[in-house]
Amino acid sequence: MKKLFVRMFALNLVVVLITLPLLPQRVAIHFGAGGLADGWAPRTVHVLLMAGLQLLLFCSFFLPALVMPRVPSKWVSLPNRDYWLQPAHWPRAIAKIRYFMWQFGVALFVFLLAMTLLTLGANLAKPVRLHLPLFWTAFVAFILYTMRWTFMFIRAFRLPSERSAGET
């Protein structure tokens, strides 16, 4: 999952940078009712902001996953933390946390890629307008994924049953 996460970040960064010469000088960066543009910025500012956001999000998911083994347990909030923070279970907990962080990061970068492409399409359209059915489809899909991810994360850190606890 880590490699896919890094690849999705790199793909997003490349796509954002590729849009620079394709965008008009003045770029719609916010859309209101009906998909009409109501916020504008110079294209270089837009591209720098998007690239900076991508980098910030990458670091927000990647770095904590790397330093997790050195984080004091008092700063870790998990379901059933008394069980998962025990030294015998901590390595498995770290592996699960990393997997889930990188998995959510992939989904986030897929969503941001969709938003980048929708913004590009909107700015190339005459008049400038966001394609709302695609936007809402991507947005709802991301929200549903987030709900599922949250459920799966909580489920992954439930207490093992007596039978499976002897297997671990």
In whole angstroms, what is the distance from residue 92 CA to residue 85 CA?
Answer: 10
Domain boundaries of the chain, sorted by first residue: 2-70+78-165
Exposure of 82 in the CB half-sphere (CA atoms within 13 A): 1
Burial class (CB within 10 angstroms; exposed 0-12, middle 13-18, buried 19+) of 78: middle
User: pLDDT digit string (tens) for 144-167?
Assistant: 999 999 999 999 999 887 555 555
Q: Cβ distance 34 to 129 under 8 Å?
A: yes
Report d(CA 112, CA 5) in Å as an integer: 13
The pLDDT value recorded for residue 15 is 95
Q: Which residues contact 92 (CB under 8 A, 6 or more apart)?
A: 84, 168
The segment with the largest mean pLDDT, out of 62-66, 82-86, 88-92, 134-138, is 134-138
Q: What is the pLDDT of residues 71-124, one digit of tens each?
A: 887 888 889 988 998 889 988 998 999 999 999 999 999 999 999 999 999 999
CB 54: neighbour CB atoms within 10 A? Answer: 24
pLDDT at 72: 82
pTM given for the model: 0.86
**Interval 3-59: pLDDT, tens:** 999 999 999 999 999 999 999 999 998 998 888 898 999 999 999 999 999 999 999
